[in-house]
Amino acid sequence: MNQPILECKNICFSYHNLNGETRALTNISFQVNKGEFLAIVGPSGCGKSTLLSIIAGLLEPESGEIILSEHEKKHIGYMLQQDHLLEWRTIWKNILLGPEITKTLTKEKEELALKLLSDYGLLKFKDKKPSELSGGMKQRAALIRTMVMEPGLLLLDEPFSALDYQSRLMVSADIGNIIRACGITAILITHDLSEAISLSDRILVLKRRPATIKKDIPVHLTLLENTPLAARNAPEFQDLFSLLWKEISDEYQGEN
């Protein structure tokens, strides 16, 4: 468990445009171990998505270094708020899009896709179009599409934000279970503190922009059953929630 697969060392980043420079990240350093589920929380606009884009290799850091093994670099999964399913393709065709594009579509991939669809209650929707599914089902389909690529590192940028509260609880629990069952290393950005506590092993709290790491909080919950919904009833939950709430609201205080 304690084998780091990602190391961020002193990451700094600024955006440059006609209005000048916006410094987004200052000296961000942390590491993520194999199989770990890390949540990142912080005030809106502090630089969370920027950090994820840098880890994904979509943006170059201004200074600092991202150390990621070759295998994980080639197998990064990225899931966003929108499901980005293609409406003209069936769910099955959407799920197999990645292997199709990368020319890695094999019988085994199809079997994996079928297993994931069946495990997560979408098998009977496989020949439907995305618009025929609920928001929660579409997000699950989007996750299966990502999982079919067998990512070594999964990056999730507020993936449940577009869902209503009820679906959000159900889908985040489902998705948490899928990720745990597959033992995938994941980084989840969320503004929902309960979600961060119930899904993750560790939570990084970022300061206001330019973001630095304010706190690195391990999450140890006493659970009767290992589900994210049960996590919300764990005895440690309330104290962790209060701690995070204080850290985040202190950041907003400075703005007034």
Contact track, ligand ADP, 48-87, x by CB under 6 A: xxx-------------------------------------
Which residue's CB is nearer to Mg ion, number 46 or number 76?
46
40 contact partners, CB below 8 Å, separation of at least 6: 48, 51, 52, 187, 188, 189, 190, 203, 204, 206
**Shortest distance, position 239 Cβ to Mg ion, whole Å:** 27
By CB under 6 A, residue 184 contacts ligand ADP: no
Compute the distance between CA of residue 107 and CA of residue 88 in angstroms, rounded to an integer. Answer: 24
Give 24 or 156: the residue with its C-beta nearer to ligand ADP.
Answer: 24
Distant-in-sequence, close-in-space partners of 23: CB < 8 Å, separation ≥ 6: 12, 13, 14, 209, 210
What does 50 bind: ligand ADP, Mg ion, none (CB cut-off 5 to 8 Å by kind)?
ligand ADP
Contacts of 86 (CB under 8 A, 6+ apart): 93, 94, 97, 130
| Contact present, 248 and 46 (Cβ < 8 Å) | no
Does position 241 bind ligand ADP by CB under 6 A?
A: no
Pick 47 or 136: Cβ nearer ligand ADP:
47
Closer Cβ to ligand ADP, 226 or 249, answer by number: 249
CB atoms within 10 A of CB 70: 8
By CB under 6 A, the residues from 9 to 38 that bind ligand ADP are 15, 17, 22, 24
Q: Does 49 bind Mg ion (CB under 5 A)?
A: yes
Please tell me whether residue 190 binds ligand ADP under the rule CB under 6 A.
no
Which spans of this chain sit near ligand ADP (rule: CB under 6 A)?
Answer: 15, 17, 22, 24, 42, 44-50, 209
